[in-house]
Amino acid sequence: MSKGIIFAIEEFAVHDGPGIRKLVFFKGCPLRCSWCHNPEGLSFKKELMVSEASCSHCEKCREVCFHEECQGFGRCVKVCSQRLPRIVGQQYEASELAKILLKGKEVLTGSGGGITISGGEPLAQPIFLFDLISHLKPVHIAIETSGFAKKEIFQRMVSEIDLVLMDVKHTDPKIHKKFTGVDNDQILENLQFLSMSETPFIIRIPLIPGVNDTLMNMGKTAVLLKDSRNLLRVELLPYHQTAPAKYEMLSKQFTPGFDTEKMVNFHTEVFKKYNIKVCVL
């Protein structure tokens, strides 16, 4: 019995593992990637999120209310006719969450699909994660992770999961630290374990213009991966301009620290050189 916090469940996620999948997003992440698309996944706490775009400024949500769930957020999330203010972050028991995710299981398994656990960083809620996994089995489980976790946790995850989708954001420790807020030594050590494991995996590289899309970084990444036993492919996810959208909704500032207008370089050839399959999402 363990509790965790998530911020969304998506049905029919088509880019996150084989077949028809439900995708659950764990809330909370130890990294602070400056390009992050899901800022509501950063904090481990519930947050207020407001889609201001179609707001008519009736100000009703600023009036005092006594709803339990609104307390402490300074806005009422019940009164808006469009429900624009909402609280992101729901706490669940692992078994309870598994039950929700497994509703319609036959659609998922019938198509060779299953559940994908994403985030935030799923490995940052390890007890909840392993509890959830135990409730989801034997359905196919995939995970999307930054790889930033203690090696015991990471290795246990690799042994229990059917498919790992892991990010490699940068091979250079300094640049990694500058743009993600954490060192990459733990990540690279975990990557090495993964690449020698029996578990199939996919490497994802968010292509950030001028940050990691250099020939040198791509080349180094390819070298790290070249002897992997179960690498299915490398997926390149070019940065796109929609990233800042959610920051405003959370009253946060988007400070990318790189030139968002710049074109990204793909350098797919360096992966092909080592016979690594590569595709762009």
Partner 1 sequence: MNERIKILLCNVLQKKHHLFRQNINIDELSEFTLNMKEQKLSDVQRAKKRLSWVLTNEIPVILPHERIVFTKTISKIPEIFTEGEWSNIKNEHYIHEMGRVCNISSNFSYTIEVGLEYRKTEVLKAIEFHSAKKNKKGVEFLLSILQSIEDVETLSDRYAQKALEIGREDIYFMLKKVPRKGAKTFHEALQFFRILHFTLWASGNYHNTVGRFDQYMLQYLEKDLDLGILKYDSALELLEEFFLSFNKDSDLYPGMQQGDNGQSMVLGGVDENGYDGFNLLSELCLKASLELKLIDPKINLRVNKDTAIEKYDLGTELTKVGLGFPQYSNDDVVIPGLLSKGYSLEDSRNYVVAACWEFIIPGYGMDIPNITALSFTKVINTSIIKHLENSKDFSSFMAKVRWEISEELSSITTSLNNIYMEPAPFQSLLMNDCIEKAQDISLGNRYNNYGIHGTGISTAVDSLAAVKKYIFDEQSIGAQELIAAVDRNFEGYRDLWLKLKYDAPKMGNDDEIADNIAIELLDIFAELTAGLVNEKGGCYRPGSGSAMYYLLHVRDIGASADGRKKGEPISANFSPGLNVKLNGPVSIIRSFSKPDMKKIMNGGPLTLELHDTVFRNPDSLRKVSSLVKSYMDMGGQQLQINAVNREQLIEAKKHPEDHKNLIVRVWGWSGYFVELDEMYQDHIIQRIELNV
Q: What CA–CA distance (Å, rounded) separates 156 from 128?
A: 13
In contact, 191 and 224? CB cutoff 8 Å: yes
State in angstroms the smallest separation of the CB of 85 from partner 1.
12
Q: What CA–CA distance (Å, rounded) separates 192 from 171?
A: 13
State in angstroms the smallest separation of the CB of 245 from partner 1.
14
State in angstroms the smallest separation of the CB of 83 from partner 1.
6
Output the six-digit token pair for 138. Answer: 């034997």
62 lies in the site for partner 1, by CB under 8 A:
no
DSSP tag of 208? -
Closest CA relative to residue 126, chosen from 41, 4, 35, 269: 4
In contact, 34 and 126? CB cutoff 8 Å: no
Q: What CA–CA distance (Å, rounded) separates 165 from 206?
A: 12
State in angstroms the smallest separation of the CB of 202 from partner 1.
12
Q: What CA–CA distance (Å, rounded) separates 146 from 165?
A: 9
108 lies in the site for partner 1, by CB under 8 A:
yes
259 lies in the site for partner 1, by CB under 8 A:
no
Residue 59 neighbours by CB distance under 10 Å? 8
C-alpha angle with apex 220: 218 to 222, nearest 5 degrees? 70
Q: Which of 59, 68, 106, 152 binds partner 1 (CB under 8 A)?
A: 106
Interface with partner 1 (CB under 8 A), residue total 23
State in angstroms the smallest separation of the CB of 257 from partner 1.
28
Stretch that binds partner 1, among 19-27, 44-52, 171-179, 252-260 (CB under 8 A): 19-27
79 lies in the site for partner 1, by CB under 8 A:
yes
DSSP tag of 214? S
Stretch that binds partner 1, among 78-86, 126-134, 146-154, 193-201 (CB under 8 A): 78-86
96 lies in the site for partner 1, by CB under 8 A:
no
Q: Which of 74, 110, 173, 257 binds partner 1 (CB under 8 A)?
A: 110
Q: Which of 2, 51, 93, 107 binds partner 1 (CB under 8 A)?
A: 107
Q: Which of 10, 63, 96, 269 binds partner 1 (CB under 8 A)?
A: 10
Q: Which of 56, 69, 74, 104 binds partner 1 (CB under 8 A)?
A: 104
Question: Strand (E) positions, 12-162?
Answer: 21-26, 47-50, 85-88, 90-93, 114-118, 140-145
Catalog residues that contact partner 1 under the rule CB under 8 A.
9-12, 14-15, 18-20, 22, 78-79, 81, 83, 103-104, 106-108, 110-113
